[in-house]
Amino acid sequence: MRIEHIPVVSAIERRCFAQPWPQNAYRREIQSNRTAHYFVARMVESDERSATPETRPAPATPDNGLFGRLSRLLRGPLEPPPTPALEAELRSIVGYAGLWLMTDEAHITTIAVDPDFQGRGIGELLVVALIDRAQQIGARWLTLEVRVTNDVAQRLYEKYTFKEMGIRRRYYSDNGEDALVMWTDPIDSDTFQETLLRNREALDRRLGPYD
């Protein structure tokens, strides 16, 4: 995730969550928080993979109007409009995720997929990206909080060995809902690595080539 992605990320967040983070929170995460690692998922056309940035087309999406409504947020009053390449990149963002490294624990702070693109494996792809980064930065476990009623997310996390380890009462201030605290097996363990490999192969078959 880069600074210029924030307005689009923020728009997706508002569609997914009752209490979205303000845009300046993401700016601080990217610019100032050395423990933070954030990613975006992009839906691109097959010919975009080999195109140069100057010639990459804007991929078709169900809601190009969303980008149009965001265009005024992408620049200040004295800044030039985004280049065509940047516009295409911003239109292609369909999800995002992030984590903090806290000693040897990778704490997943947020993960979301635009509602128009849910159910296609993008959320799982983001989970795998976070696991890969956690391994790269020396974490031994991943942990997160999830709403007790969010069965879909819980099933996804369970695929990657996340298990309920506690409850945070009234964690979500919008409705007072409890959060499950979930932890993975040690990510350097044989059990976790075998699970990751099996799930990654299945995801590769589902999504096809991706970067």
> Beta-strand (E) ranges in the chain?
36-42, 93-102, 105-113, 141-147, 163-172, 177-183
Please provide the average confidence, as pLDDT, over all residues in the chain: 87
- In the three-class reduction of DSSP (H, G, I as helix; E, B as strand; rest coil), residue 42 is classed as strand
Q: Is the pTM of this model over 0.85?
A: no
Average pLDDT over residues 15-32: 94
Catalytic residues: 145, 157
Torsion of CA 85, 91, 94, 97, to 10 degrees: 50
How confident is the model at residue 110, as a pLDDT? 97
Q: How far is CA 15 from CA 19, 20, 21, 82, in A?
A: 10, 9, 12, 24
pLDDT > 90 in the chain, percent: 74
pLDDT at 185 over 80: yes
